[in-house]
Structure 1
Amino acid sequence: MENLTLWGKKVDFMNPKCNFLQLRDDLRIPKLEELTVCLDLWKQIQVQNWCVFMYKKQGREDPQLGLFGEGGNLRVWLSESSWLSSVDLSLQTWHSVCLTWSGPRQRLHLYVNGSVVKLEEEISVPNVPLAPNGTLTLGVSHGFTNGELVPESGHKLPGYMSLFRMWDQEYSHRQLLDLRCAKGDLIRWVVSDWHMHGCKAIPDTGLKCETFPTTPSTPSTYTNASTGPITSYGPLPTFKDSFFRVRLNVNVNNPYQDSEEVIRIWLQETLGKDQMSVLNLEILTEPGACLEESQQMREGFYIWPQTEAQQTATVPCEGDPRQKATRLCCLDGVTEKATWTAPDLLLCPLIVATILDLDNVVVLPSNSMDVVEIIENLTSCHTKLSFTELVIVLGKLAEVVNMSQMTPPLGTAIINVIANIIATDSDLSLVTNEILSITDSIGNKMTFGGDQYNVAAPSLAISLFNVDPGHFQGLSFGVSSVSQDSSPEIFINQDPFDDTVAFISLPHVVGNYLPQQNGTSSRVQFHFYGTMDLFKDSEPKMKLNTYVVSASVTNATIVDLEQPIVVTLHHLEANMLNDEVQCVYWDVNKNDKLGGWESSGCTVNHTIATRTTCFCNHLTHFGVLLDVSRTMVSDVNEEILTIISYLGCGISSIFLGISLLTYVAFEKLRRDYPSKILLNLSLALLGLNLVFLVNSWLSSFNSYGLCIVVAVVQHYTLLASFTWMGLEALHMYFALVKVFNIYVPFYMLKFCVLGWGIPLIIVSLVLIVKMDAYGSILYDNSTQKQNTLDQFCWLKSDVVFYVSVVAYILFILLCNVSVFVVVLVQIRNMREGKAARKRSGLLHDLRGVASLTFLLGLTWMLAFFTWGPAKVALLYLFAILNSLQGFFVFLFHCLMKESVRKQWRIHLCCGRFRLTEHSDLSHTATVGMKFRQYQLTHAPSMKSAKSDHSNSTSSTSCSSHSDRGPGSVSG
């Protein structure tokens, strides 16, 4: 396969016929958590923007991996983030470039000509795997059109490239020296790995690895043996360099170090002085013995003696010395070392059977991890812990933190235990400060390599930074994707985005407060708590409406900052009416050292329905409280009220539809003005109910334009409904108070213009003046998907809402109440001088009052009294009466109306229930509407020529007579 190798050859991307190199389709880059890429690069000319290589996943905007040029500098891309290097590549010379990355260690390094190059941007290295099955191109960047790869013009490499290789692991600086002329294990510099796309490989003797991996042919050689005939050994390779075989015997005293790496570094440093390199390093280890080890288990405390490989140690059980505990010292097949297996304690009774038994466990530095594992095992099966159990568990965790060296595995284990405790239904209000103290101590004592370390568990995350006080330029911490089943995602030094639930940014002036420790780093830590149960205050008027985020500096108290700390928190419940919010911090000394919320030093900078940004002048645990003193309605009551509203509106819609069909189908029922007004009112109410029923569903599409349309229609039908209620009252006033028998031209047309025109004018003015007043209050800048029933397209502006809705409805209701009172007084005056009413007459009048109450919408007045202790009860009454308003309109003005029932029996019934068109029914008045029997001549302001007797015998139901003026009233 000699003719397929590209070693010793370069690709000239400045050749017009050379487009780019592309990794073959049958070679796929797998999902990687670490990698190394090396190549040789030659810049012929200076251009502003150019591409070395690019690995991209189809459907993503930015590269998953790449190396780009910006002038003389290099920009590294990884997982759609980029870092700019400060290196200036000189022209017309070869440069060796290597890129290494480890996700778990969050390390990213760029090497140019054997030296580490600093990456300028302070962006956190992502701890997410490299996306698999992407496309890799050399010499040019690319995109996709209709699923096809398309090279991007204007970013071509202005020079040559050679020796592009890729490995599936991160190599250290010294290991890269050995890779100088080594093949890649994922991608090789051979023709069979690439689509050339017009490019040709050109030999270049200036390449340092031009003869690797070929083996030149040499003449045959012969060896003379004194005791036998001449034997041919065939052709042997000839080497220019000398090779030495070195054997070392090394005793390793620290089992936690990487022995191979230590030996490799020592050999490189020792032999490198004589310009020698180490190749084919192989370490063979003797198994040795399993060293003595103490172990704390739920079955007791055990000390396992030193045991040879493949031997079993036996000790008596602590709870029953007659039984034996065993543990095998096995030979590890990979490391070839003696290693302890898990102990066999099946015959040993439990010593720590419950959480209360933890009191008998002694915490030592040597058994700290064992104790934490026991606690995790005990708490994982509990859904609720008592106060005593919480005190014991947190006390043992505090002992572990205080007595032990806080390694990353130990700290992570403790954080997992605390996350398990937070996830239970336990009352944590009495132990909040203890939990905060433990997590703070973990952050202060944690020892780790590098400048940053993250620990995340469900609903809990900690980020630790070792910073240089003299070069502190600010720091930010953000969290997204919070759920009970997965750990939060942490983002460092990134601006908050849509899914960010908590964000905190420290200004650069914090560096002035960092403790100076003789050139050593200072520790800054961020905490995130994705729960509200941990922070409960006795303040009844305020409720925590966000998760909690904190920042602190080890051995420093930071207060009264000149520049504020910026905290942005996402609301757990959308602030639908922009209720008052308050930025607060957790004061551990409040409420007799139990802790509570305090607001001093924190102010609200900006708030919208879904998030609040706070400015604070000190470091601690931050949250946002919602003023619920005006909205003391529990979640259960809110859900019940929602169900009542939807059921009531659904029922009303059905019966309003029946009412409309009845009046439209039977022409005799709509001959008078009251029936026509009732028809328009029913139509407006039906529209209001139907839009309300589909509002949440339509708003769930998150379409801004659709939501505005729905909100406008909802607003219009509400105003139209109240306008027709007001016109109903106005007509009643004309009929029973200002009684006249004159003809009013276009009377009903004028009412229709007012009833449908006034709401149209109001809605049009809102659209013209402030169209963005409409919309979904959860759609605007929403950072989290809400429950479908929580979304509603309506008015977002308080000013527009109170002017165009509250004020208008209040005006209509006040007018209707006035007419209602005047009508009742008028009826009372009509009753004077008559004989005492019978009981049935009183019931009729009560029905009439109820009928007018729903017809004029007086039940909506309850909305102005839903405050104080009776708020919840009034809300239930409001929801029931007003959602069923359409049903009551049908009941009193359709079902209980004799003229309507007559038409039903004539046209819809059969058999003995069917009536003929000329059936002689009683002339009694409509049930419950007896007070409306009086004709216009009975108003006190008019002199009547008819007697009371003639009136009482000749008047009919107001729906059955055929008055053509305004002086008739109907339900």
Structure 2
Amino acid sequence: MEKTNYSTDYNFEGFALIVVVMNLPNSLVPITAPKVSNKAPKIQTFIPVEAFQNVPEAKQKVAILIYDSIQQFNKKNYSIMSTVIRVEVIGCDIVNLTNPLIIHFPVNNYTNHSTKSYIYSCQYYDEQGSNTWKPDGCNTTQISDDVVKCSCDHMTLFAVLLVEVINIDGQHWEILSYISYVGCGLSAVFSASSVLLFIFNRNAKAEVSNSIHVSLSGALFLLNLSFMFSEWAATMTVKEVCVFIAVTIHYSLLCSLTWMAIEAVHLYLLLARVFNIYIKYYMVKLSLIGWGVPAVLVGSLLSVQQLTDPFYGAINVTLSNSNATNPVCWITEPLILYGVNLTYFTIVFLFNTIVLITVSRHIFKLKKLDNKHKKIPAKDASTVLGLMCLLGTSWGLVFLGSGYTSYPILYVFCISNTMQGFSIFLWVCWKARPDKQKEAHSKSVSTVDTFIIEKQKE
């Protein structure tokens, strides 16, 4: 490229290369990629002039290279459905293009012999990182059965891959979005109301358990609020906005899970030690765990992100039965998404479920000892339902769904989890009643513990 002073084709044994000296009359310059062989399909590229704005005139050259073999890029048995192409500008690392690089790829046809869904996906080869194919920064549009249009905001190695997708039908996506947004809006309002009630109501501050409930409400408020801005931020041209929203969602999600675990720990201590659970600086220590542990995890990821590819940003959710994608701000690296979040959630969910079962058995065991009533009263059932809400056990529905194909479970999951803030608000209101009798030990007991102690007295 350095020695080429005019547009030239080069044909080598394993690849073909064209170097084009650019003159910049238009916003996009069409260039046909060279062929490695006579049987190779023709690939049309459109090079954005923007890539040469800060490049000296002598270096305003673009190279397009076509590889004869894809085996060196197929280390993990990726289904590469097109020719592999490299697009580069001499001496420059072209990223974050406003006007994207466009490539029209002829693709191999495939026949689907399974129940799984597959789509074409424009991806780039991460040579400087994990040596894997990644879709970041590329949009995919299928022009016809055998041509795929790739629009990418950077220049490097590209190809079209066949990938399995977990699709959401467009109509279901729209309905679930309305449910989620309405539910998150109501949950945010009630979560904020719980915090305000705690601040201005003296009765609400009388119990440590209420402080824990309100801390969970604060985490849910932050989660619901940031979630509602996720799709909007993904459309912003300033990528830092989307990164900020993604980080906020991740932090508030981990905080919510942590406070649910703290609810379970507090409940277990009350059940095991009843009256004697005094711990010095109890709430301060819980707050350091509830807000601090997620901060350390997210802060560590942000620190590592400076040295590697971004972990947070816009990702595309593909809708089934269409080529449409819906961008949202979230975690872009699957290893982080599943390695951190799923592990964290699994530990919290299993622990909280064990505590829920233990407390429920204790409640109904006390009920059996009471010969005055043969039926389980509504108070017992409502207590267990309230515990399920506080401990977030409805989040475990994610294990029951078969991806996004199990729509009934997905609907129940959206409705139950977005209304969690409302349920906690009812708990806080019940405990803040001015006519509620307070015991001397009230600062150490929870709503459920008060009920258990009453049962023990009978």
**Shorter-normalised TM-score: what interval?**
0.5 to 0.7
How far did 1:121 drift?
A: 6.9
Does the CA contact (< 8 Å) of 2:19 and 2:63 recur in 1?
no
1:696–1:609 Cα change, 3 Å: farther
Shift of 1:831: 2.1
The one-letter code sitting in structure 2 at the alignment partner of 1:834 is D
Q: Report the aligned-residue RMSD.
A: 4.7
Larger relative contact order (Cα-Cα within 8 Å, sequence gap ≥ 6): 2
Paired amino acid for 1:477: Q
CA gap 1:650/1:83 in 2 versus in 1, 3 angstroms: same
Does structure 2 conserve the Cα–Cα contact (< 8 Å) formed by 1:776 and 1:793? yes
C-alpha separation between the residues in 2 aligned to 1:761 and 1:931?
A: 32
- Corresponding residue of 1:311: none
1:818 to 341, 350, 354: 354
Secondary structure of the structure 2 residue equivalent to 1:832? helix
Kept in 2, the 8 Å contact 1:720–1:759? The answer is yes
Q: CA deviation digits over 1:186-212, x for unaligned, max 9?
A: xxxxxxxxxxxxxxxxxxxxxxxxxxx
Normalised by the length of structure 2, the TM-score is: 0.65
Which of 323, 327, 332 is 1:796 aligned to? 332
User: Residues 572, 874 of structure 1: CA spacing in aligned structure 2 closer, same or farther, 3 A cutoff?
Assistant: farther
Q: CA, structure 1 residues 610+796, in 2 after alignment: closer, same or farther (shift >3 Å)?
A: farther
Larger radius of gyration: 1
Q: Which residue of structure 2 aligns with residue 686 of structure 1?
A: 221
1:874-924 Cα deviation digits (max 9, x unpaired): 111111111221122223x145x2x43x45xxxxxxxxxxxxxxx79999x
CA gap of 1:644–1:920, structure 2 versus 1, over 3 A, is closer
Alignment partners' CA distance in 2, 1:122 and 1:571:
26
Q: What CA deviation, in whole Å up to 9, does each residue of 1:614-652 have, x standing for no partner?
A: 4xxxxxxxx643313xx2432221222222211111110
Give the SS at the match of 1:862: helix
Equivalent residue for 1:806, pick from 310, 335, 342: 342
Pick the aligned partner of 1:866 from 382, 392, 401. Answer: 401
- AA at the equivalent of 2:312: Y
Distance 1:724 1:470 in 2: 62
Of 447, 451, 454, the match for 1:933: 451
| Whole-angstrom distance in 2 between the partners of 1:657 and 1:610 | 46
The answer to whether the aligner puts 1:544 opposite 2:119 as a matched pair is yes
Cα distance, 1:571 vs structure 2: 2.4
The answer to whether residue 140 in structure 2 is matched with residue 571 in structure 1 is: yes
Q: Are residue 627 (structure 1) and residue 151 (structure 2) matched?
A: no
CA contact (8 A) 2:263 2:391 kept: yes
In structure 1, the partner of 2:311 is: 773
Post-superposition shift, 1:692? 1.0
C-alpha deviation, 1:477, in angstroms: 2.0
Contact 2:331 2:337 in 1 (8 A): yes
Aligned residue identity for 1:791: P
Taking a change above 3 Å as real, the CA distance of residues 128 and 665 of structure 1, as seen in their structure-2 partners, is closer
Offset, 1:684: 1.0
| Paired positions, count | 363
Q: 1:700 to 1:650 in 2, by over 3 A?
A: same
- Match among 375, 378, 382 for residue 843 of structure 1: 378
Q: Deviations over 1:77-103 (max 9, x none)?
A: xxxxx869xxxxxxxxxxxxxxxxxxx
* Partners of 2:351 and 2:288 in 1: CA distance: 19
Q: Could you say which residue in structure 2 is the equivalent of 1:34?
A: none
> Residue 702 of structure 1 aligns to a residue in which SS?
coil
Tell me the residue number matched to 2:299. Answer: 764
The 8 Å contact of residues 480 and 501 in structure 1, kept in 2 or not, is answered as yes
CA drift of 1:722 comes to: 1.0
Following the alignment from structure 1 to structure 2, what is the Cα–Cα distance between the partners of residues 610 and 470? Answer: 24
Q: Amino acid of the residue matched to residue 933 of structure 1? A: F
Could you tell me how far 1:750 is from its partner in structure 2? 1.1
- Verify: 1:641 aligned to 2:176, yes or no: yes
What is the rounded CA distance, in whole Å, between the counterparts of 1:739 and 1:922 in structure 2?
16
Secondary structure at the aligned position of 1:744 is classed as: coil
Task: Give how far 1:931 is off.
Answer: 7.3
Q: What residue in structure 2 maps to residue 659 of structure 1?
A: 194
Q: Partner letter of residue 828 of structure 1?
A: F
Structure 1 residue aligned with 2:126: none
Q: Which amino acid aligns with 1:807?
A: T
Residue of structure 2 equivalent to 1:499: 100
Aligned to 1:852: 387
Distance 1:757 1:920 in 2: 34
Tell me: CA distance 1:922–1:609, structure 2 relative to 1, closer, same or farther (3 Å): farther
- Give the drift of 1:718: 0.9
Name the aligned partner's letter for residue 661 of structure 1: L
Cα gap change, 1:128/1:804 in structure 2, threshold over 3 Å: closer, same or farther? closer
Per-residue displacement from partner, 1:701-733 (whole Å, max 9, x unpaired)?
232333333222221111111111111110100
The amino acid of 1:865's aligned partner reads L
Percent sequence identity over matched residues? 25
Q: Which runs of 5+ in 1 are unaligned?
A: 1-72, 76-81, 85-119, 130-453, 455-462, 482-491, 505-526, 548-568, 574-584, 587-596, 598-606, 615-622, 779-785, 904-918, 924-928, 939-947, 953-971
Q: Residue 377 of structure 2 aligns to a residue in which SS?
A: helix
- Equivalent-residue separation in structure 1 for 2:269 and 2:403 (angstroms): 39
Between the aligned partners of 1:609 and 1:672, the Cα distance in structure 2 is: 56
1:830 matched to 2:366? yes
Say if 1:884 and 1:691 are closer, same or farther in 2 by CA, change over 3 A: same
1:46-125 alignment runs, 5 A limit: none
Q: Deviations over 1:292-338 (max 9, x none)?
A: xxxxxxxxxxxxxxxxxxxxxxxxxxxxxxxxxxxxxxxxxxxxxxx
Whole-Å Cα distance in 2 between the matches of residues 469 and 671 of structure 1?
78
For the residues of structure 1 that align with 2:246 and 2:42, how far apart are their CA atoms?
42
Q: CA deviation at 1:861?
A: 0.5
Task: Report the Cα offset of residue 767 of structure 1.
Answer: 1.9
Structure 1 residues 535, 499: CA separation in 2 closer, same or farther (over 3 Å shift)?
A: farther
- Structure 2 letter corresponding to 1:627: E
Q: CA deviation at 1:815?
A: 0.8
Counterpart contact for 1:848–1:931, Cα < 8 Å: no
Query: Is 1:716 the equivalent of 2:259?
Result: no
Equivalent residues of 2:242, 2:314 under 8 A apart: yes
Q: Distance in 2 between matches of 1:817 and 1:469?
A: 60
Which of 735, 739, 744 is 2:274 aligned to? 739
Distance 1:833 1:709 in 2: 54
Cα deviation for residue 542 of structure 1 reads: 3.1
Q: C-alpha displacement at 1:845, in angstroms?
A: 1.7
Retained in 1: the 8 A contact 2:32–2:43?
Answer: no
- Asked whether the equivalents of residues 570 and 612 of structure 1 are also in contact (C-alpha less than 8 Å), the reply is no
Contact 1:677/1:728 (8 A) holds in 2: yes
Q: Is the 8 A contact 1:570 1:610 kept in 2?
A: no
Residue equivalent to 1:156: none
Question: C-alpha displacement at 1:791, in angstroms?
Answer: 2.7
